[in-house]
Structure 1
Amino acid sequence: MLMNGQVAMIAAGKWPFGTYDKNHFANIDVQFLPTFKTSKVIFGSGAFPVLKSTKYPEAAYQLSAFLSGVYSQKTTLSNTSIPTRISVMNEVLPKTPASNWKVYAESADVAKAVEAPMQYGEIQGVFDRHVSEILSNQSDAATAMKKAKQEIDAILKK
């Protein structure tokens, strides 16, 4: 809807940039999300932790070190995620059409990091579908979000 000019802004990370590139869409920039008194904006990033409970700590460490390295962050995270390494961020993000790309780095100071559930992709699809209904006047916000909550709760219970 953003690329079609049906909405003026969306709340998204860097993941849509792959689609933007494929469609030669460059009329885009980034900005801080609004904050609220009752909660902080949440975010995620491409991080590869080693769990304390792993049965293979050395192998897990080696994989984490590789995935956290410059090569992996430039290739694996290059067009869909915000790199966690500042050096890679400073190299990769200026290549986006977003002139205000430093907001990605600065957002970490005003947001709360949270762990995404395993079902994040499925949940995102539900949420995006219902937000699209609101933005295209197919549903009011209260009804759409009530339906989204019911679907998301069901997904999380699986």
Structure 2
Amino acid sequence: MRRTSFRSMTCPIARGLDRVGEWWSILILRDAFNGLTRFDQFEDSLGIAPNMLARRLKALVAAGLLEKRRYSIHPPRFEYALTERGRDFRPVLVMLQTWGNTHFAPEGRSVITIDSRTGREARPVVIDAESGLPITDPAFRSAPGPAASERTRRRYAPRAVKETAI
């Protein structure tokens, strides 16, 4: 089944999903952050069919998230390394892990983020670099950017706030 491409959409979320929106891709990136580099390592970790893994790795290389490097000539063997673009995905993975632990782990947290210097558990949050406020603060909303189309401008136009009687 062929999926719809979001590549030409101007929405940054849609464009990001076009590159990593397939669950195997996100799990491959997770494993790459945990030090896996070789096809057989990803295959063993994920229990994924080789043809599916080959497609996902090829797509992640094409998207510029992984780099394919030859480590053996005879037989030809390759490893996969995170690129700068791929490394920039780490906060997304950490927040997805945190969200999953908070809302979908009734048995408890199976994977946590720790500060390797102290061994203490981290409490990841996304903050605004200017104000230091958590991005979940009601002060923040999405708004059209400089390159927004008219459709996007309408979608993100401020909505009138309904007043409620007291």
- Please report the TM-score for the alignment, with normalisation by the length of structure 2: 0.25
Which structure has the larger Rg over C-alpha atoms? 2
- Please report the TM-score for the alignment, with normalisation by the length of structure 1: 0.26
Higher RCO, Cα 8 Å, sep 6+: 1
Greater share of strand: 2
